Structure 1
Amino acid sequence: MVPEPLVGAILLLTVVLAYVNGFHDASNAVSTTITTGTLRERTALGMAALLNLLGALLGMGLVTMSGAWAFSKIPLGGLADDGGSPPHLVLWVLLAAVATTVLWDLATWWRGMPSSSWHALYGAIGGASLVLGWHADWSAFLGDALMPTAFVPLLGALAAYLLMHGITRLLAKDRLVSGHVRFAQTVSAGAVATAHGLQDVLIPMAVVVAVSATAPVPPAMLAAAPFVIALALATGTYMGGHRIIRTLGTRLTDLSSPQGFAAEASTAALMGVVTLGFGMPVSSSHAIAAGVMGAGLARGRRALRLPVVWSILVTWIATPVACLLLGMTIARLAQTLLGA
């Protein structure tokens, strides 16, 4: 059984999205360990890829991936419940949204800017829905996209700032040695890699499940999808997004091992509390960048390179807006050229 072309195109793009997401976000787990010399680059990327794979498999095992779950996660609940929607409207929105997210991740990687794939997808769904005639649930988009954007980076920066001060005092009193910090940094980086796989695998899997709830998908293809997506995510991570690694590791501030540990530990803790405790998606890109900023600020304002900080903040704010416009453009092209 071969899926219809539209379904096949979305499924293929979803695997590409998983790969690009791993490639784009590899820096979240390894940028500090590579920069500080705690781990060699290939070792760090290999560890991150393996833990991304394990985290992805664990993340898919922790949720019941039904159609209702997928439509809520993306979110497309109102569209799925709208009995008057044109045929295949869900599929066209998903096609535009996934394509937009892939393009935005590649564009921000090229500029060396960490950004959120979640926010890109949400913005793209909103833009595509406007063009294709669906009245989106904007309260859900705003709540899932803007609330974490506003509060998670602030909490991450504060946590890293306080932790960095604590580490500095322990080092000064010889209660902690550099070897301990480097080991702890490796552990915290592994925790971030696992948390990233656990959370971000749900983006492409939600798309796959939403597609299967809307149109026929070959059972064998559906059964293989979790493993293919997990492997694509891990493979992308192993390839590494070196431009963003350089931004977080050297352009934003001059990282030391204590700063790297403070940033990674605060990111892992924040992702665990917010994601598992409150069920909200947390951008690991936002969390780790904010953690690096907080750890750098603990050494004084001059330790941070403010032009890079502002570039990152502008990218975060621009992501949902730019992807809304890009989603509108791609949906309009699909509507004009392909009869969406």
Structure 2
Amino acid sequence: METALVVVVVLFALGFDYTNGFHDAANAIATSVSTRALTPRVALTMAAIMNFTGALLGTAVAETIATSIVDLSDAPPHQALVVIVCALIGAISWNLITWWFGLPSSSTHALIGGLVGAGLAGGLGVYWHSVYTSVVLPMVFSPIVGFVGAFALMVGVLWLVRNRPPGRTYRRFRGAQTVSASAMALGHGLQDAQKTMGVIYLALLTVGWADPDTGIPLWVKISAAAAISAGTYSGGWRIMRTLGRKIIEVDPARGFVAESVSATVLYLNAFVLHAPVSTTHTVTASIMGVGATKRASAVRWGVAGNIATAWVLTIPAAALVAALIYFLLSPLLG
């Protein structure tokens, strides 16, 4: 039975990774597509390749997910695996709901909410201090840093190019967006694919199929990287329209700055803080920041408010779905 549950965990985890890819594909390429720096299919291909590459560059975020969210150490392996399955179902459900309505919510927080909700439903412990320091604080500060950093950098860029001919300047920034979008896609793979690695690694540790001293197996890294890459290539057009056009009308210079600042925030969290931050929150806040340099009314704050509502609801909603799934499935699975 445990072997079957591990297989189910792996399949659901890779399914979550796939939905993460098409749900968050817009993060890296929405501004580049909306400014016509890249065609949609070229942008998706580039993002898929960079997602795959980024996923293989580190494991610190994956280990945070595996060891610092829910305490499965005292749970029987069977129960621990059921908790993980229910967490994944909760996260996938919330991803699909927000994708359907075109809301760029956080796949990261959906997964963490699912783990917390299923863990509590199963009577297990939650590392609340770690959730606060590694999830809640980055959830609050990363968008703030993205907004302020993008606003400040955009002001500096506008000052530097104030006497340059607009047509030539925009063409150069449109070319530069290829680099900034690639950097953003690399950061997305670095952050989001690792979360799936962490869940699979957690399941393997639960049944003794992985050694904590040797780290995450190579097949886990490659399968997670491939799943998010495939999901990214399949696209996320609903959310892409929201990020690329509904918040502000993005021009090449503002697209370049928003992507550059977002990528920097993702790298700092992955390599320095080891925090699983939301790429969605970060890039959305950065887009708002560059938009605010036009004028406050340039940002469509009503759309931004809907996005913020989805942000706030993500962790508790995914937790609630995961808890309900646990109560339904645990009797059936013994």
**Same fold (TM > 0.5):** yes
**Using the alignment, how far apart are the partners of 1:297 and 1:94 within structure 2?**
41
User: Which residue does 1:202 correspond to in 2?
Assistant: 194
**Structure 1 CA distance for aligned equivalents of residues 76 and 57 of structure 2:** 36
CA contact under 8 A between 1:118 and 1:145: conserved in structure 2?
no
SS in 1 for 2:226: helix
**Aligned residue-pair number:** 327
> In the alignment, what sits opposite 1:54?
53
- Give the secondary-structure state (helix, strand or coil) at the position aligned to 1:262: helix
Q: Which residue of 1 aligns with 2:290?
A: 295
1:108 corresponds to: 98
The answer for the alignment partner of 2:224 in structure 1 is 229
| Correspondence 1:275 to 2:270 | yes
Q: Distance in 2 between matches of 1:178 and 1:42?
A: 22
| 1:156 equivalenced with 2:151 (yes/no) | no
Q: Does the 8 A contact of 1:3 with 1:218 survive in 2? A: no
Cα deviations by residue, 1:55-103 (Å, 9 ceiling, x for unpaired):
112235xx598xx766325x23x322x2xx3442221111111111111
Change (3 A) 1:278 1:225: closer
Give the partner amino acid of 1:93.
V
2:24 is the counterpart of 1:34: no
Q: Deviation per CA, 1:217-236, whole angstroms, max 9, x where unpaired?
A: 599xx653332221111111
- 1:282-304: CA deviations, max 9, x gaps? 21101100011111111111111
Amino acid at match of 1:258: A
Q: CA deviation at 1:140?
A: 1.9
Q: Aligned pair in 2 of structure 1 residues 96, 308: CA closer, same or farther (>3 Å)?
A: same
Match of 1:212 in 2: 204
* Contact 1:251-1:308 at 8 Å conserved across structures: yes
The unaligned stretches of length 5 or more in structure 1 are none
From 157, 177, 185, the counterpart of 1:193: 185
Is 2:306 the counterpart of 1:311? yes
Question: How far apart are the structure 2 equivalents of 1:254 and 1:117?
Answer: 25
User: 169-178 or 98-107: which moved more?
Assistant: 169-178
Aligned-pair RMSD on alpha carbons? 2.2
| Aligned: 1:79 with 2:72 | yes
Q: Which moved more, 1:131-140 or 1:254-263?
A: 131-140
**Aligned to 1:4, what secondary structure does the other structure show?**
helix
Q: Which amino acid aligns with 2:29?
A: V
When residues 69 and 218 of structure 1 are mapped into structure 2, their CA distance, relative to the original with a 3 A threshold, is: closer
| 1:282-335 Cα shifts (integer Å, max 9, x gaps) | 211011000111111111111111110100111111111111111111111112
Following the alignment from structure 1 to structure 2, what is the Cα–Cα distance between the partners of residues 326 and 238?
28
The superposition leaves residues 137-180 of structure 1 with CA deviations (integer Å, 9 ceiling, x where unpaired) of: 22222222211121110110011111111222222222982222
Q: How far apart are the structure 2 equivalents of 1:87 and 1:293?
A: 45
AA partner of residue 225 (structure 1): V
Aligned position for 1:10: 9
Mapped partners of 1:280, 1:137: distance in 2: 14
| Cα contact 1:160–1:263 (8 A) shared by 2 | yes
Paired with 1:70 and 1:313, the residues of 2 have a C-alpha distance of 24
Q: Deviations over 1:108-152 (max 9, x none)?
A: 111111122221122111111221111322222222221112111
CA distance in 2, matches of 1:47, 1:59: 20
- Partner Cα separation in structure 2 for residue 187 and residue 48 of structure 1: 11
Tell me which residue corresponds to 1:245.
Answer: 240
1:3–1:198: structure 2 CA closer, same or farther, 3 Å change rule?
Answer: same
Read off the aligned partner of 2:102 and give its amino acid letter: G
Is the Cα contact below 8 Å between 2:258 and 2:287 reproduced in 1? yes
Q: How does 1:96-135 map to 2 (within 5 A)?
A: 96-135=86-125
Summarize deviations over 1:233-283 as a string: whole Å, max 9, x none.
111111111111000011111111111111101101111223212221221
Q: What's the TM-score, normalizing by structure 1? A: 0.90
- Is contact 1:59–1:201 with CA below 8 Å preserved after alignment? no
Query: Tell me, what secondary structure is at the counterpart of 2:276?
Result: coil
Question: Once the two structures are aligned, what percentage of the paired residues are identical?
Answer: 36
Deviates more, 1:304-313 or 1:267-276: 267-276
Distance 1:255 1:87 in 2: 50
Conserved 8 A contact 1:126-1:136 = yes
Contact 1:204 1:229 in 2 (8 A): yes
Cα distance 1:136–1:105, how it changes in 2: closer, same or farther (>3 A)? same
Q: Is the 8 A contact 1:23 1:239 kept in 2?
A: yes
Deviates more, 1:268-277 or 1:296-305: 268-277
Look up the equivalent residue of 2:67 and give its one-letter code.
S
